[in-house]
Structure 1
Amino acid sequence: MSRLEGFPPVAAPGAHTLILGSMPGAASLAALEYYAHRRNLFWPILDEVLGIDPALPYAERTQRLADAGYALWDVLGACRRHGSLDSNIENDSIEVNDFATFFATHSSIDRVFCNGMTAEQCFRRHVLPGLGARFEFDVRRLPSTSPANASIPYAAKLAAWREIAR
C-alpha cells in the first residue's frame, strides 16, 4: 500500500476557527482539493452556513473561507490507506501534521471543529497531548460530510454545522 500525503493548511493570519478532517479521500487527492468528491457535503453545507458558493473555483472558495477567519486542514499529514474510508487507515502508518507550529503561527484560533469521528479521535489522541497547557481550544465533533456517512440526514448535518458560524 502506498503512502498518501495530505495538503498544506488553508489559513490566513487572524483565523479564529480551524476545521479539521482526517485525511483527504482519493477524489480530493486526485484533484488536489479539499472535499473534492462530488457527493461530499462539505462545500454545499458551507454555502448554507457561510455563503461560500460551491460552484466557485476552488481557489476562490478557499480564499473566501480564509478571509472569513476559518482555517482548513487535516489531522494526518500522511498515512497508508486503501481507498478513501477512514476505517482503512493503517494505524501504524499515521503521521500527524505539525500543529504546534501551526497554532503558534495562528494564535488567535480558539475553536476546532472536527469533520467526523476519526478527525476528532486522531486530534484528541495524537495532537492535544503534545501541545501542552499553553494551547486551549474548544474542540467539537461535527457529523462527517462524507458520502460514507449517509445514515445522518442532510438537515441534521446542516443543523450541527451551523455551530461554526456562531
Structure 2
Amino acid sequence: MQNRISSFPPIVNEDSKIIILGSIPGVKSLEKQQYYGHPQNKFWKIMFELLNENFTEDYQERINILKKHNIALWDVIDSCERKGSLDSEIKNEEANQIKELLEEYPNIKTIFCNGGKSFKNLQKILGKNFKVPFYLLPSTSPLHTISFEKKLEDWKAILKFL
C-alpha cells in the first residue's frame, strides 16, 4: 500500500468572499508544509499579479495577503494515497468537508477550482446545482503547460468577485 497523504487545514476567516480549491498538495508542498510550495507552480505569482501586491517568498506574508483580499484557500481532497505529485495517481481519496466549511463561512459566495481534478471532485461533493457557484480555472501546476499569460488572463475571473 502507498503512503497516505493529507491536505492542510483551510486558510479562511469571516471576511472570506471567495475560496480557491486545489486537489491535494504535491510532494514539494507537503515537504514545505505550504500551499503551492513547488517553485514552478504559478499560483503565488498569479495571485500577487492579480492583487497588485509585491511578490514575497515569505509564506506567512502570502497568507496575510490572501486574507487581506478576502480569499480563502483549501483542497477538495482531505486525504488519499498517491505516489509522486500527479492528480492522475490519486487513489482511495476522502473528501474535505466543503459544504460544512461554506455553512460556517457564509460570506463565501463563489468557489474557484485550481484545475480539473479539483473541479470534478467538487461536482461530486456538491452536485451541479449547488447554491454557491463554482468555476474551473486552469491549473497553476507546471504540468499544465499553457503559458503564464494565458493562465493569468483566465484567473482574472476572480477579481469581479472580490
Normalized against structure 2, the TM-score is what? 0.93
Gaps of 5+ in 1: none
Which residue of structure 2 aligns with residue 162 of structure 1? 156
Which residue of structure 2 aligns with residue 147 of structure 1? 142
Cα deviation for residue 56 of structure 1 reads 4.1
Cα deviation for residue 154 of structure 1 reads 1.1
CA distance in 2, matches of 1:100, 1:20: 13
Q: Secondary structure of the residue that 2:8 maps to in structure 1?
A: coil
Normalized against structure 1, the TM-score is what? 0.91
Matches within 5 A, 1:1-12: 1-12=2-13
Matches within 5 A, 1:8-157: 8-90=9-91, 93-125=92-124, 127-129=125-127, 136-150=131-145, 152-157=146-151
CA distance in 1, matches of 2:132, 2:103: 13
Q: Secondary structure of the residue that 1:20 maps to in structure 2?
A: strand
CA RMSD of aligned residues (A): 1.5
Aligned residues: 159
Q: Secondary structure of the residue that 2:31 maps to in structure 1?
A: helix
CA distance in 1, matches of 2:77, 2:62: 22
Q: Could you tell me the percent identity over the aligned residues?
A: 36
Cα deviation for residue 76 of structure 1 reads 0.3
Q: Which runs of 4+ in 1 moved over 3 A?
A: none
CA distance in 1, matches of 2:78, 2:96: 5
Cα deviation for residue 51 of structure 1 reads 2.7
